[in-house]
């Protein structure tokens, strides 16, 4: 009965209350007593992902706040369509960031959300995952791609002049969350193809952990990630409001999805709110309207748990599996070099964690694998924790903590044809309670395949008491 309901609610969202009565799916819809925070990577993502949730919360007078990670000032194609000429001069790029802020404000007012409930952080568009990967602590702030700024350049931002660094983003999110005390957080999905969308999820996770460590007085809120950018999804890519929004087939079992059915009025207002974002709508109307469906969809991965007794946690492949068509952007010689990720497993033996990555073919001269392992622990700021990346080529490997190269003996790599096993000692991660991890393959600077960021929790004591 339960499996039948899980399948049917995607085709008939009205069955959601029945599924909830079985204790299968926690409702994402607003309820009296909720306090809803929406984290949007760019202006318009909040409507695409949860415009129905926003207008329903506003209609119910449920406390609501929306925070934008960036002003979306790097979408050059949409700016070209909007302005009818290239927009690359820093002052003009920043002006487009302000245009997108004004569009967001107008769209939210249309949905019943006053400007006082909107917060623009103003961090660099298309650069926040780069900040996540390597701009913490004593590292130099990241530079905006077209603004050229190394600090938030917008006077209307939450904290103008905040450096483009990981701890600054975390500090802003902590302040917002601490002051608003949400019960539910709607945010972008860690499997999203857009790097800012993945970054928004990761930074929000860290902010909540640090607030818990700091003894925040409110309960930990529920997480409701929404997916926007994913290969060949949603289908069809056009306005079909009578259809349900279904998850990509690959995710139907990996993630527990929570559909929220929308009324005809909510669907209509969501469409109109998207059209207010003229700077984006002119360049991709059919894509934006493909998210105007009978329901909205939310779902998250369950954190993986590794015990100390040689437990194994398999990670599914994510983006372009070996049995899927190769990415269209690859040239013929690049297609010949394509290396996909078929599977990844994590195991723990004693004080070491092992990552076994199975590939579609052996790595070649120009193709490599990068493993990301970022540890966290309750008694230390995340900015002070190691953020290790291991680059594995056909013959050599290199491990770095941000830009600091680690001694070669710290991390070991074993190659077996299409299989790579990487050993990472917990001591190199400063004995964490858990870690974030991801894997990708690359050809020079070109990404090939990648595995979504996942949270892995470590059972048992991993701390070195002397550290």
SS (H, E, C) the chain: CHHHHHHHHHHCHHHHHHHHHCCCCCCCCCCCCCCEEEEECCCCHHHHHHHHHHHHHHHCCCCEEEEEEECCCCCHHHHHHHHCCCCCCHHHHHHHHHHHHHHHHHHHHHCCCCHHHEEEEEECCCCHHHHHHHCCCCCCCCCCCCCCCCECCCCCCCCCCCECCHHHHHHHHHHHHHHHCCCEEEEECCCCCCHHHHHHHHHHHHHHHHHHHCCCCCCCCEEEEECCCECCECCCCCCCCCCCCCCCHHHCCCCEEEEEECCHHHHHHHHHHHHHCHHHHCCCHHHHHCCCCCEEEEEECCCEEECCCCCEEEECCCCCCCCCCCCCCCCHHHHHHCCCEEEEEEEEECCEEEEEEEECCCCCCCEEEEEEEEEECCCCCHHHCCEEEEEECCCCEEEEECCEECCCCCCEEEEECCEEEEEEEHHHHCCCCEEEEEEEEEECCEEEEEEEEEEEEECCCCCCCCC
Report domain 304-458's class: mainly beta
pLDDT reported for residue 233:
93
Q: Cα(146)–Cα(71) distance, rounded to whole angstroms?
A: 13
Query: What is the reported pLDDT for 337?
Result: 66
Residue range(s) of every CATH 2.60.40 domain in the chain: 304-458
**Cα–Cα distance measured from residue 205 to residue 211, given in angstroms and rounded to the nearest whole number:** 10
What is the third-level CATH fold of 2-300? Rossmann fold (3.40.50)
pLDDT at site 335: 59
- Measured distance CA(427)–CA(306) in Å, rounded: 16
Residue-level pLDDT at 366: 81
Q: For each of the chain's 467 residues, which pLDDT tens digit applies?
A: 444 444 555 555 555 444 443 334 468 999 999 999 999 999 999 999 999 999 999 999 999 999 999 999 988 777 776 676 677 788 988 989 999 999 999 999 999 999 999 999 999 999 999 999 999 999 999 999 999 999 999 999 999 999 999 999 999 999 999 999 999 999 999 999 999 999 999 999 999 999 999 988 888 899 999 999 998 899 999 999 999 999 988 777 778 899 999 999 999 999 999 999 999 999 999 999 999 999 999 999 988 888 877 777 777 554 434 344 555 555 666 556 688 888 888 999 889 999 999 998 888 778 899 999 999 998 999 999 999 999 999 889 999 999 999 999 999 999 998 999 999 999 999 999 999 999 999 888 788 888 889 999 998 766 554 44
- Where are the CATH 3.40.50.10320 domain residues in the chain? 2-300
Show the tokens assigned to 71: 């002003």
Token readout for 418 is 């299409």
**What pLDDT is recorded for position 402?**
94
* pLDDT for the residue numbered 87: 74
Give the residue carrying structure tokens 């990648």: 450
For position 262, what pLDDT does the model report? 97
**Predicted local distance difference test score (pLDDT) of residue 465:** 43
For position 329, what pLDDT does the model report? 53
């Amino acid at each position: 009965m339960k499996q039948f309901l899980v399948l049917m609610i995607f085709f008939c969202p009205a069955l959601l209350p029945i599924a909830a009565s079985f204790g299968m799916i926690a409702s994402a819809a607003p309820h009296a007593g909720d306090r809803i925070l929406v984290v949007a990577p760019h202006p318009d993502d909040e409507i695409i992902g949860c415009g129905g949730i926003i207008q329903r919360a506003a209609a119910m007078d449920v406390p609501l706040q929306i925070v934008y990670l960036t002003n979306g000032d790097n979408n050059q194609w949409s700016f070209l369509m909007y302005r009818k000429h290239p927009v690359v001069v820093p002052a003009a790029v920043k002006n487009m960031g302000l245009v997108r802020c004004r569009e967001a404000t107008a769209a939210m007012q249309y949905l019943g959300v006053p400007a006082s409930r909107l917060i623009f952080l103003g961090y660099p568009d298309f650069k926040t995952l780069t900040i996540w990967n390597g701009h913490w602590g004593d590292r130099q702030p990241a530079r905006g791609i077209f603004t050229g700024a190394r600090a938030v350049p917008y006077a209307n931002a939450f904290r103008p002049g905040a450096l483009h660094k990981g701890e600054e983003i975390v500090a802003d999110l902590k302040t917002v969350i601490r002051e608003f005390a949400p019960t539910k957080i709607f945010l972008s999905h860690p499997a999203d193809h857009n790097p800012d969308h993945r970054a928004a999820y990761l930074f929000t996770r860290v902010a909540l952990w640090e607030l818990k460590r700091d003894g925040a007085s409110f309960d930990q809120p529920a997480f409701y990630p929404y997916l926007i950018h994913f290969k060949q999804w949603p289908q069809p890519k056009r306005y079909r409001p009578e259809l349900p929004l279904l998850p990509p087939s690959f995710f139907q079992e990996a993630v527990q999805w929570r559909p929220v059915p929308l009324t005809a009025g909510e669907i209509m207002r969501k469409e109109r709110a998207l059209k207010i974002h003229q700077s984006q709508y002119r360049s991709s109307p059919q894509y934006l309207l493909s998210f105007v469906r009978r329901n909205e969809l939310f779902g998250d991965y369950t954190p993986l748990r590794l015990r100390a007794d040689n437990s194994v946690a398999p990670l599914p492949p994510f983006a372009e599996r070996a049995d899927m068509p190769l990415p269209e952007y690859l040239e013929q010689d690049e297609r010949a070099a394509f290396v996909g990720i078929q599977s990844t497993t994590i195991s723990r033996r004693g004080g070491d964690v092992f990552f076994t990555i199975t590939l579609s073919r052996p790595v070649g001269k120009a193709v490599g694998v990068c493993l990301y392992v970022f540890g966290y622990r309750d008694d230390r700021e995340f900015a002070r924790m190691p953020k290790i990346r291991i680059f594995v080529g056909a013959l050599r490997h290199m491990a770095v903590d941000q830009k600091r190269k680690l001694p070669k003996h710290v991390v070991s790599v074993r190659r077996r044809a299409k299989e790579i096993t990487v050993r990472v000692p917990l001591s190199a991660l400063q004995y964490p309670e858990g870690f974030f991890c991801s894997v990708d393959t690359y050809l020079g600077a070109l990404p090939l395949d990648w595995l979504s960021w996942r949270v892995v929790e470590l059972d048992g004591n991993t701390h070195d008491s002397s550290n």
